[in-house]
Amino acid sequence: MTLKEQGKKKIAVTTLGCKVNQFESAAFLSELTAREVELVPFSGPTEVYIINTCVVTARAGAQSRQLIREALQR
Sequence ranges of the domains in the chain: 8-73
pLDDT, averaged in runs of 10, over the chain (74 residues): 67 90 92 89 91 87 91 88
Q: Which residues of 53-68 are buried (b: 16+ CB within 10 A; e: fewer)?
A: beeeeeeeeebbeebe
The whole model's pTM is what?
0.75
**What's the N-to-C CA distance of the chain in angstroms?**
27
| pLDDT at position 4 | 55
Helix, strand, coil % over all residues of the chain, rounded to 5: 50, 20, 35
Query: Which pLDDT belongs to residue 68?
Result: 92
